[in-house]
């Protein structure tokens, strides 16, 4: 029987833990973790994500600061805001909601965020620390994947892990995390030859390419762990992952659903990163 890894249930457990920890630290220090979220423009998906983050912060005892800027904000104006938030002692995490309008230099904006407050884990300094195996703030979706595996009691050390997709947001950082847990890691992409054969070697298969139901049962080793990061709409508007869930779930040993799998863990890890940044900035434990 296939085990369903419920990100929704794991996220609920973790958010309660974070809520209790923020309360304990407030009692100890009189301070509350603070997360600043910057949104540029009126992207509907971004608005949904930002509102979900604000709600999650409120429930976890984290103070949220929202900054909604117009589409035509200049690079200099946005950088000025980031520098102001870097210096604000009430702000421990800074998140700039992506994507940004084309006229803004995304890399320069992300690089301007203080590494200590980079709760998205996108700053080159933090990416570098991750690559050399040092403690740092890790991007939220990869961190959530690792948390799901660990809390589900899934052995990583010595296992063969195949990652489909090499993005800077998921593929590359999750590869580093799996290496840090002593997995043997293969990162695949659009130029990989005989992708189904490569994937079928995996004890742990992580898929993050943004193509609905792309991974079918012939990609999957019997009993494998399958982590589906994709969130797509199919031809009839149904929310589906990158994995063809029904046939793959009959072959896998463990699998994440869409929705209710990796998605809920991403915002949860944002809360966890904000709490971790608060601890580090205030030197409290």
Of 120, 128, 211, 122, give the one whose Cα is nearest residue 165: 211
Residue 219 lies in a domain: yes
Of 149, 143, 141, 147, give the one whose Cα is nearest residue 3: 149
For the question of residue 97 being annotated catalytic, the response is yes
Residue 249 lies in a domain: yes
pLDDT at 285: 85
Range of the domain at 48: 30-114
CA 234 to chain centre: 23
Q: How far is CA 248 from CA 4, 237, 240, in A?
A: 12, 21, 13
For the stretch 80-129, pLDDT in tens is 999 999 999 999 999 999 999 999 999 999 999 999 999 999 999 999 99
Domain boundary among 114, 149, 176: 114
For the stretch 115-148, pLDDT in tens is 999 999 999 999 999 999 999 999 999 999 999 9
Residue 37 lies in a domain: yes
pLDDT at 1: 76
pLDDT at 172: 97
Active-site residue identified among 118, 120, 203, 244: 120
Residues 40, 106 within the same domain: yes
Q: How far apart are CA 148 and CA 235, in angstroms?
A: 30
Q: How far apart are CA 88 and CA 80, in angstroms?
A: 13
Q: 4 and 262 in contact (C-beta within 8 Å)?
A: no
Residue 59 lies in a domain: yes
Q: How far is CA 194 from CA 178, 197, 200, 219, in A?
A: 23, 6, 10, 10
For the question of residue 53 being annotated catalytic, the response is yes
Residue 104 lies in a domain: yes
Packing angle between helix 7-29 and helix 44-60, nearest 10 degrees? 50
For the question of residue 159 being annotated catalytic, the response is no
Residues 105, 204 within the same domain: no
Residues 80, 150 within the same domain: no
Q: How far apart are CA 35 and CA 60, in angstroms?
A: 12
Tokens representing residue 84 in the block = 């102001």
φ/ψ of 62, rounded to 5, equals -105, 130
pLDDT at 81: 98
Residue 123 lies in a domain: no
- The stretch 2-7 carries a mean pLDDT of 96
Packing angle between helix 140-151 and helix 262-282, nearest 10 degrees? 100
Name the domain count of the chain.
2
DSSP reduced 3-state for 146: helix
Of 1, 18, 268, give the one whose Cα is nearest residue 148: 268
Average pLDDT, the chain: 96
Active-site residue identified among 97, 117, 118, 203: 97
């Amino acid at each position: 029987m296939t085990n369903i890894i419920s990100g929704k249930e794991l996220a609920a457990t973790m958010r309660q833990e974070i809520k209790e920890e923020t309360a304990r630290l407030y009692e100890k220090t009189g301070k509350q973790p603070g997360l600043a979220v910057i949104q540029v423009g009126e992207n509907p998906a971004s608005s949904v994500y930002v509102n979900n983050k604000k709600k999650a912060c409120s429930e976890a005892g984290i103070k949220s600061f929202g900054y909604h800027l117009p589409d035509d904000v200049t690079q200099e104006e946005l950088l000025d805001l980031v520098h102001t938030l870097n210096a604000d002692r009430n702000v421990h995490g800074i998140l700039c909601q992506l994507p940004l309008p084309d006229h803004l230099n995304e890399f320069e904006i992300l690089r301007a965020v203080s590494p200590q407050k980079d709760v998205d884990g996108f700053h080159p300094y933090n990416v570098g620390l991750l690559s050399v195996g040092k403690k740092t703030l890790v991007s939220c979706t990869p961190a959530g994947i690792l948390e799901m595996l660990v809390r589900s009691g899934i052995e990583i050390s010595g296992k063969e892990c195949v990652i489909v997709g090499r993005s800077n947001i998921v593929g590359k950082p999750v590869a580093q995390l799996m290496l840090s847990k002593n997995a043997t890691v293969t990162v695949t992409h659009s130029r990989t030859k005989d992708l189904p054969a490569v994937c079928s070697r995996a004890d742990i298969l992580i898929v993050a390419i943004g193509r609905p139901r792309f991974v079918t049962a012939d990609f999957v080793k019997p009993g494998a762990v399958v982590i589906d990061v994709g969130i797509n709409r199919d031809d009839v508007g149904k929310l589906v992952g990158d994995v063809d869930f029904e046939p793959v779930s009959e072959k896998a040993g463990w699998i994440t659903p869409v929705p209710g799998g990796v998605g809920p863990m991403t915002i949860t890890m944002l809360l966890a990163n904000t709490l971790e940044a608060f601890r580090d900035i205030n030197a409290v434990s």
